[in-house]
Structure 1
Amino acid sequence: MEGKRLVTETRSKARHRRRRKALTAGLPLALTAAGTMAYGSVLGAFGEEDVSGTDIASSYGDYARGNVFSGASGRPESGGTAFAPKAYYPYTLDQAADAPGLLKSAAGHGSSIGTTAATRAAAVTTLTVAKDGSGQFTSVQKAVDAVPANNPSRVVVSVKPGTYRELVKVPSNKPHVTIQGSGASRKDTVIVYNNASGTPKPGGGTYGTGGSATVAVEADDFQARNLTISNDFDEAAHQSLDGHQAVALRTAADKVVLDGVIVTGDQDTLLLDTASKDRLGRVHVSNSYVIGNVDFIFGRATAVIDRSVITLKKRWNGTSAGYITAPSTAAGRKGILIANSTVNGDVSDRSFYLGRPWHAGGDASLDPQTTVRDTTLSAAVKTTPWTDMSGFSWKDDRFAEYRNKGPGAGGASGDRPHLTDAQAADQEIADWLAGWTPGA
């Protein structure tokens, strides 16, 4: 269009050279100074409905073609040809899947001013995983193994669509790792295994609950995006096994981001832990699905589940009965906060508790905490939503609601405590994150 031609004509070749990465990606970053852009309305790459009943868009947002430029300055000529970058330097088009990273790397201000897109991109290393051999690695674990010990900057393990039946561990000496599916949907890339607590280990003994995890994260500043992490242990086929807890994802680290993911299993799906009892372990889950039936969000981490869907699942024998959270919070720390989310599932009405206190190992010094606020609760939630565990009363710990809605919500009572407005002001997401900005 004419406005776009005018913008390019008023640019110098040097400025185009600095911004060619953004231009060739089809992004409007290099053109923002010329005027205001209006985006067309299309469904974004991560905006599809993943789990029945709820549509969650990833925090990447939507991307649209057909930009419209207005208020462009410059000489209003009607003749001549538009600036052609290829006449001055070679370039190749970037892949559409790289658009989110390019957009983020080229935006902002401060230290990025005066640097090229190539310089900014150099700070991020990308390792590609593909089952068909078209990437650098054929398994996720092999890519993680290639990350240097004490890695100082972000390494993105980009995993092409496919089902990867393997165990993945990110050890504590490999921080700043992102495992990210490169498909159009979080369902396209799946990491799955089927160990349970009672599964025999090759060298003797059993895995135990924590050891059953399909993906185990022990490194700080870890991120998982746009993929599914699953434990598909078959309880019905292994009734003789002692220990059916089967973890899909275990985190024992600080500053963990889970964005646009599905974490699915049955009992003990998502273990949010810390490296030790005296260590802080903050986790931020957003735009995601967590699926399970018994204590399937548990551990001692300081964890936020925000703008997500918690899906309740029937037991192996078709019955509906379960518990969503089982916090084992250390005294003086924050526990599990569920905010701005939805609790639903194809289960019987009044069959699930919101949570119960897990005093791991009978440790009476723990002070478990779950707060559920500003969340839509289905009729599956019990009218008395908290219960005791292993001889410890929930009333001696910290369990509360605030401003929930839906058929599973209920008024305040002795069996259903609600926060006051003043109490709720001290139980915001920012209080849990304690100065940390996820993804920054």
Structure 2
Amino acid sequence: MSSTRRTARHRKPQRVLAIGVPLALAASGVLAYGSVFGLGEEERAAAAGAPSWATAAADGFASVDALGQNGTYGGRGGRTVTVKTLADLEKYATAPEPYVIVVAGTIDMAPVGKEIKVASDKTIIGSGTLGHIVGGGFFLGRGVHNVIIRNLTIRDSYQGVWNDKEHDFDAIQMDGAHHVWIDHNDLRHTADGLIDVRKDSTNVTVSWNRLSNANKAFGIGWTQNVVTDITIHHNWIRETEQRNPSTDNAAHAHLYNNFMEDAPGTSVTSSYGNYARGKTRMLLENSYFQGMNNPAIRDATAALVQRGNIFSGTKGRNESGGGTAFDPRKFYGYTPDAAGAVPALVKSQAGPRGSLGTATATAATAGAGATAARTLTVAKDGTGQYRTVQAAVNAVPVGNPSRVVISVKPGTYRETVDVPANKPHLTIQGSGTSRKDTVIVYGNAAGMRKPDGSGTYGTPGSATVAIRSDDSQLRNLTVSNDFDEAANQALNGHQAVALLTTADRIVLDGLIVTGDQDTLELETAAKDKPGRVHVTNSYIVGNVDFIFGRATAVIDRSVITLKKRWNGTSAGYITAPSTPAGRKGILIHRSTVDGDVAAGSFHLGRNWHPGGDPAADPQATVRDSVLSAAIKRTPWTDMGGFSWKDDRFAEYMNTGPGAGPKSTDRPHLTDSQAASQEVADWLGDWTP
């Protein structure tokens, strides 16, 4: 921020290889480093510029690093192929190479009941609502891993017998697979179960699916080993008699925000709902049960912990007990929706989506006129085209019309990087398996004098990485400013930016951005210029005003980590927006605020009016997020003589020990206000 602002003094950052994240948070595994990306250099280059559905990664237990696999990202980075025949679908699904397979029509299985044996590293996705698999499904055998099955309708293997013991025709069956994401499918009318997760399959997430019109919805387990970790959320399970789901000997079964419905007046009557069998440990939260018989049951040997569920028109067994709940946030970050909102939410959004799997001309998509992204490689050991990131940036032509990817091999690059405004469509991404493998770090601060004697750096000039060009991206990296405050107490100007953006349509995905004061500066090229930034699946670490600026910024599904200051004290401010009037400011959405700091020591933010500008109208909204006890009971505060109450600060539906009730010192959005403060309202006509 502006050097006219009062300098705060705080702790010396840890050296970059320690990343600067408190050990307590690292141990918790919340949004674990590396869980979002697991690609090699060539795969990243191929994936760059692909539509978001082709590069999507799982949440829940499928996102957790385990068994040698870093999260679940399917065929991302492999070639994208479009299939319309059974022969082509089977050819690519069983191939040893990674593929993104787009199903763009109805494929009839022959013989009926056929289950294609899917190999590892595959994404199988329907093109809009066109992808139908009829009369069969998919099988994932032992050791198969990193598979995404998404946006498909898999239906009609039913053979005329309701509780069929002769035909094991499932929609999706896995025996000993791991890291599987089943998302946004419509599964219905099969001979046996819709989904079977068997024989120690683990690290599975099942999300946003419609499961219906079958005797058995969803079976899990059938082994004496207690190893399966599974997340089941935002599914609509209706008109299924049993296994809704049945969970047998699962180590951790996290079920939340599901809608279980037994509609009256139909031929299907539920026998039971969610069932914890054997030695299962199940956490069942914020789900909605409508008309179900025996909605929640458990064996005497199982643990079933309930919280926040709604039961409407149910009868019979509704059980809990047998042990204490596990904490899913020790494995991954999540924010459950309110149970009352679940039926409408799931009915409108579960199942295949027209926006997923639709054709886009990218480097990974075959078709006339597709333009391949140009890739430049960086390796400090000389095995790439360039030894520094800045050298690769310098090699990008001015006014480049299409995506240029700078693929940076693992290592620590001690340099500053400046992407000028005249080089748009630039992606800088680490090629390691984790965001901590590739580190760009420097240690400039606002008050330090430039080597050429032209004055001090100032706050923006201290940035380790500056992105000034539109439509640019940073992925799978750590960006750090390791300015040593303890050794520079005499310096006037301790602001030390790790990452600066001053452009529009910027994607920051899978990053660690770490510093102390002014870590992440989100600006625009000028006051009258737009500047939208979308931050996802990232860590942002700091202590004073460390997410700030006048850009329109969304921080989504990320972890905001609070640090002590250089002298070990706890006090700070997360946000310091300087939003122009009439624009959106900073939105923190579905994220977690945590860190090894004292309780009640941090503000959510304060209002920055640069240079005392009364026309600024700072805005920050924190919603649907988990707040640690570090957040003050009065979370907003004044800055520079301006009252925060004259600007725009609010919360909505936050949880955790740092959340608090609405008051004059803690404004909350109403439901109608919240409806106009969604991510789409911030990003407008831009879909990252």
Q: TM-score, normalised by structure 1?
A: 0.78
Check 1:307–1:10 CA distance in 2 against 1; reply closer, same or farther (3 A cut).
Answer: closer
- Show the counterpart of 2:306: none
1:158 to 385, 407, 421: 407
- Show the counterpart of 1:244: 494
CA distance in 2, matches of 1:66, 1:267: 40
- Show the counterpart of 2:438: 189
- Show the counterpart of 1:258: 508
CA distance in 2, matches of 1:119, 1:214: 40
Matches within 5 A, 1:15-414: 25-27=97-99, 29=101, 64=146, 108-110=357-359, 112=361, 117=366, 122-204=371-453, 205-414=455-664
Deviations 1:227-279 (A, max 9, x none): 10000000001111110000000000000000110100000000000000011
CA distance in 2, matches of 1:369, 1:427: 11
CA distance in 2, matches of 1:119, 1:346: 54
**Residue 428 of structure 1, CA deviation:** 0.6
Secondary structure of the 1:173 match is coil
Q: How well do the aligned residues superpose, as a CA RMSD in angstroms?
A: 3.2
CA distance in 2, matches of 1:330, 1:177: 27
CA distance in 1, matches of 2:647, 2:660: 20
- Identity in percent: 67
**Residue 434 of structure 1, CA deviation:** 0.5
Check 1:30–1:306 CA distance in 2 against 1; reply closer, same or farther (3 A cut).
Answer: closer
CA distance in 1, matches of 2:559, 2:387: 31
**Residue 385 of structure 1, CA deviation:** 0.2
**Residue 202 of structure 1, CA deviation:** 1.2
Contact 2:96/2:119, CA 8 A, preserved across alignment: no
CA distance in 2, matches of 1:434, 1:145: 32
CA distance in 2, matches of 1:292, 1:111: 38
Contact 2:98/2:120, CA 8 A, preserved across alignment: no
Secondary structure of the 1:29 match is strand
CA distance in 1, matches of 2:370, 2:376: 13
Deviations 1:94-121 (A, max 9, x none): xxxxxxxxxxxxx9444659x9648677
Check 1:346–1:37 CA distance in 2 against 1; reply closer, same or farther (3 A cut).
Answer: farther
CA distance in 2, matches of 1:10, 1:351: 60
CA distance in 2, matches of 1:418, 1:30: 43
**Residue 199 of structure 1, CA deviation:** 1.0
Check 1:361–1:124 CA distance in 2 against 1; reply closer, same or farther (3 A cut).
Answer: same
Q: TM-score, normalised by structure 2?
A: 0.51
CA distance in 2, matches of 1:203, 1:180: 31
Q: How many residues align?
A: 374
CA distance in 1, matches of 2:427, 2:385: 16
Deviations 1:381-434 (A, max 9, x none): 000000000101100100010010100000000000101111111111100001
Contact 2:524/2:551, CA 8 A, preserved across alignment: yes
Contact 2:416/2:464, CA 8 A, preserved across alignment: yes
CA distance in 1, matches of 2:680, 2:562: 27
CA distance in 2, matches of 1:303, 1:330: 13
CA distance in 2, matches of 1:404, 1:303: 19
One-letter code aligned to 1:225:
R
Secondary structure of the 1:285 match is strand
Contact 1:39/1:64, CA 8 A, preserved across alignment: no
One-letter code aligned to 2:392:
A
Contact 1:23/1:30, CA 8 A, preserved across alignment: no
Contact 2:500/2:520, CA 8 A, preserved across alignment: yes
Secondary structure of the 2:636 match is coil
Check 1:112–1:273 CA distance in 2 against 1; reply closer, same or farther (3 A cut).
Answer: closer
Contact 2:434/2:476, CA 8 A, preserved across alignment: yes
Q: Please state which structure has a larger fraction of its residues in helix.
A: 1
CA distance in 2, matches of 1:11, 1:424: 48
Check 1:24–1:38 CA distance in 2 against 1; reply closer, same or farther (3 A cut).
Answer: closer
Greater CA drift, 315-324 or 33-42: 33-42
Check 1:348–1:121 CA distance in 2 against 1; reply closer, same or farther (3 A cut).
Answer: farther
Check 1:305–1:30 CA distance in 2 against 1; reply closer, same or farther (3 A cut).
Answer: closer
Contact 2:577/2:606, CA 8 A, preserved across alignment: yes
Greater CA drift, 29-38 or 258-267: 29-38
One-letter code aligned to 1:276:
A
Check 1:162–1:420 CA distance in 2 against 1; reply closer, same or farther (3 A cut).
Answer: same
CA distance in 1, matches of 2:637, 2:501: 25
**Residue 365 of structure 1, CA deviation:** 0.4
**Residue 200 of structure 1, CA deviation:** 1.0
One-letter code aligned to 2:650:
A
CA distance in 2, matches of 1:30, 1:304: 30
Contact 1:314/1:347, CA 8 A, preserved across alignment: yes
Deviations 1:262-319 (A, max 9, x none): 1000000000000000111000000000000000000000000000000000000000
Larger Rg: 2
Contact 1:39/1:66, CA 8 A, preserved across alignment: no
Deviations 1:48-71 (A, max 9, x none): xxxxxxxxxxxxxx962799xx99
**Residue 25 of structure 1, CA deviation:** 3.1
Q: Please state which structure has a larger fraction of its residues in strand.
A: 2
Check 1:65–1:392 CA distance in 2 against 1; reply closer, same or farther (3 A cut).
Answer: closer
Check 1:420–1:239 CA distance in 2 against 1; reply closer, same or farther (3 A cut).
Answer: same
Which ranges of structure 1 fall in alignment gaps of 5 or more residues? Answer: 1-6, 45-61, 72-106
CA distance in 2, matches of 1:259, 1:435: 20
- Show the counterpart of 2:665: 415
Check 1:416–1:198 CA distance in 2 against 1; reply closer, same or farther (3 A cut).
Answer: same
CA distance in 1, matches of 2:434, 2:639: 38
CA distance in 1, matches of 2:389, 2:452: 24
CA distance in 2, matches of 1:375, 1:254: 25
CA distance in 1, matches of 2:146, 2:554: 31
Contact 2:547/2:576, CA 8 A, preserved across alignment: yes
